[in-house]
Chain A
């Protein structure tokens, strides 16, 4: 009777996480030390990366979290363990940077090593899994993302990470960082707003006029298949022509290269999800509901605003979410044609083989996409529940 025998049941994902943690703790360098920002680095294992108390702290935390992940089923303690792990490892890597950097050496660079990344990944996986299992409501998720953003801001402002290479790159470019950040947000969100302004009416039109629907979707589909770099390139010629021949265009800052073609390309890319989801959303309004609305004497305009759009809203927002997250990523490429944004750091970094600079452009982009996706998902859930 095997079922009567007491046994420890292992959580599958948890076991993988535990193995990851083990590899991170004992077989990977916690940080990488480089004499200057472009030379190859040398890994430092935990024991060499931190004073004994710090190393011990991380090892104990890591083992504790690994045990929780492998043995516990209840998502709440698993989430607590994951958060504890992240709250320990993330600040401590800054301490490690201070510890490893020789005193007064401003050329040396210390960046998080494979061990740190594996630990962060394992903890994040555990947290994400627990959060999924907890099925949190939209308000709690919004609160969670706000707390996470606050914690990251606090960490950065506290100076705990100041000796990390990433922050040293940032310190050298603090002004241009925020300028590029604004540019990135403007490119991604501004083009999204423009495509909502055009896409929503276009979607409603395509929904109402059946014959236009196929044509509109076909054209947008073709636009979507053009690779981003090619689309940026294609736009250079007509915009350049416009700029040289129409003084107003030039005055508005429209040029063959720069932000204008990037903005227009992102606008075109985000048009398809907006239009397609507007049509889908309106289409899935139950026929009985529109029939009843007509039968009660709601005019076409009243039907649209009072019945069809409110019911289509979650699907339309899902389209905007897809387009927005896609735009935040794609806006990186804008830097290639002088459009600015976080891509500037990525391409400069690649040019200089300075991986920290690449990360300075990449990490904010990823964080921005991630936060946008979570916030939008919560909003979509809220609109699905109907007004209260």
Chain B
């Protein structure tokens, strides 16, 4: 768990981060969004003390980060940046082994960990362990960057625009992979982005920042239904909001009893995708089945639209 308390950063007269407090629960993803220059990265970099706060403090699992020596603190926190920052003179496996080596793990344990991570990120150890970063594609470099950050099993992972340099197709795959790995490892992640879709896709909670201030920190749906300020509404895309809301809701929550003709939808489908099918097939209703294929009810256009309605 990360607790950020009244964190402020000033450079002379300029305030870059202004009295921000928020709390990231164990095993969840908090996404920090905002326009460039909003102070997102500075906030992130104060968590591992790459930037020293002017005032306020950060607690990780209840311990004030100021009470831990800088280097030791960073060994325990994974850090991923947009440009990855892979060491060009070291191989993939040497890059991944960076922090375990600093921690003095024995050779066997490091080798086993490197292979485990390469497998986890779908990079064949036989092929990739000995390669140098310049021999990798952008997507592979990104995966190695995340693998390197996870090498010493940190409880916390900080990611600064980790997908910013990827093209859209690879990006959404990388986001899905990250979600899967996070669910599996149960890591606590703070991720900075300016891409709203990414924020809604990944965030258990989203922090919206503007001009050094934290405007709202809430679950994605709440951000859409109850934006704290006009800027939040604007940032989430005024016209897009109903659709985003539908993307966050599953068929399960709009299910009604009864039957319908046509191709069945699965309970875990998002309302966004369900509506898309209904429109495409020109239907008002479709049957719904559960994961085992048993019919459980139906979904209607009317119910879906009701879920996309925003409070006045």
CB distance from B7 to the nearest CB of A (A): 18
Which B residues between 70 and 89 are near A, CB-CB below 8 angstroms?
A: 70-75, 79, 81-89
Name the residue among B71, B79, B85, B86 with the largest chain A CB count within 10 angstroms: B85
B99 at the interface (CB under 8 A from A): yes
A311 at the interface (CB under 8 A from B): yes
> In the complex, are the beta carbons of B48 and A295 less than 8 A apart?
yes
CB distance from A271 to the nearest CB of B (A): 27
> In the complex, are the beta carbons of A297 and B81 less than 8 A apart?
no
CB distance from B76 to the nearest CB of A (A): 8
A310 at the interface (CB under 8 A from B): yes
Assuming the contacts A292-B84, A311-B88, asked whether A302 and B50 have C-beta atoms less than 8 A apart, the reply is no
B180 at the interface (CB under 8 A from A): no
Which residues from B are CB-within-8-Å of A6? none
Which residues from A are CB-within-8-Å of B158? 295
CB distance from B184 to the nearest CB of A (A): 22
Interface string of B79-116 (1 = CB under 8 A from A): 10111111111100000001100100000000000000
Which of the segments A52-60, A96-104, A202-210, A283-291 contacts the partner chain?
A283-291
B121 at the interface (CB under 8 A from A): no
> In the complex, are the beta carbons of B71 and A297 less than 8 A apart?
yes
Which residues from A are CB-within-8-Å of B90? 386
B132 at the interface (CB under 8 A from A): yes
The residue in chain B whose Cβ has the minimal distance to the Cβ of A298 is: B102
A contacts with B: majority SS: helix
Name the residue among B71, B75, B82, B158 with the largest chain A CB count within 10 angstroms: B71
Chain A: interface residue count, which band? 10 to 19
CB distance from A296 to the nearest CB of B (A): 5
> In the complex, are the beta carbons of A297 and B73 less than 8 A apart?
yes
Assuming the contacts A289-B88, A307-B87, A386-B88, asked whether A296 and B81 have C-beta atoms less than 8 A apart, the reply is no
A387 at the interface (CB under 8 A from B): yes
CB distance from A48 to the nearest CB of B (A): 61
CB distance from A292 to the nearest CB of B (A): 3
A73 at the interface (CB under 8 A from B): no
Instruction: Identify which of B72, B79, B89, B102 contacts A292 (C-beta below 8 A).
Output: B79
Which residues from B are CB-within-8-Å of A311? 88-89
CB distance from B13 to the nearest CB of A (A): 22
> In the complex, are the beta carbons of B79 and A296 less than 8 A apart?
yes
> In the complex, are the beta carbons of A286 and B74 less than 8 A apart?
no
The residue in chain A whose Cβ has the minimal distance to the Cβ of B45 is: A295
The residue in chain B whose Cβ has the minimal distance to the Cβ of A300 is: B71
Which residues from A are CB-within-8-Å of B149? 296
Interface string of A297-314 (1 = CB under 8 A from B): 111001000010011000
Which A residues between 356 and 388 are near B, CB-CB below 8 angstroms?
A: 386-387
> In the complex, are the beta carbons of A291 and B81 less than 8 A apart?
yes
Which residues from B are CB-within-8-Å of A386? 88-90, 132
Which residues from B are CB-within-8-Å of A288? 81-85
Assuming the contacts A296-B98, A296-B99, A297-B102, asked whether A289 and B75 have C-beta atoms less than 8 A apart, the reply is no
CB distance from A245 to the nearest CB of B (A): 50
Name the residue among B89, B90, B99 with the largest chain A CB count within 10 angstroms: B89
Q: How far is the CA of A290 from the CA of B79 in the complex (A)?
A: 12
The residue in chain B whose Cβ has the minimal distance to the Cβ of A290 is: B85
> In the complex, are the beta carbons of B85 and A292 less than 8 A apart?
yes
Q: How far is the CA of A310 from the CA of B88 in the complex (A)?
A: 10
> In the complex, are the beta carbons of B86 and A292 less than 8 A apart?
yes
Assuming the contacts A286-B83, A288-B83, asked whether A296 and B102 have C-beta atoms less than 8 A apart, the reply is yes
Assuming the contacts A295-B50, A297-B73, asked whether A302 and B84 have C-beta atoms less than 8 A apart, the reply is no
The residue in chain A whose Cβ has the minimal distance to the Cβ of B103 is: A297
Assuming the contacts A291-B81, A292-B81, A386-B132, asked whether A297 and B99 have C-beta atoms less than 8 A apart, the reply is yes
Q: How far is the CA of A311 from the CA of B89 in the complex (A)?
A: 7
Interface string of A311-347 (1 = CB under 8 A from B): 1000000000000000000000000000000000000
> In the complex, are the beta carbons of A296 and B74 less than 8 A apart?
yes
A293 at the interface (CB under 8 A from B): yes
Which residues from A are CB-within-8-Å of B87? 289, 292-293, 307
For the complex of A and B, 3 pairs with smallest distance between CB atoms: A292-B85, A297-B74, A295-B79
- Given contacts A295-B50, A296-B75, 20 further A-B pairs with CB under 8 A are A286-B83, A286-B88, A288-B82, A289-B88, A292-B84, A292-B85, A292-B87, A293-B85, A294-B74, A295-B85, A296-B98, A296-B99, A296-B102, A297-B71, A297-B72, A297-B99, A297-B102, A302-B102, A307-B87, A387-B89
A-B contact pairs, 6 of them (CB 8 A): A293-B87, A295-B74, A295-B81, A296-B149, A307-B87, A386-B88
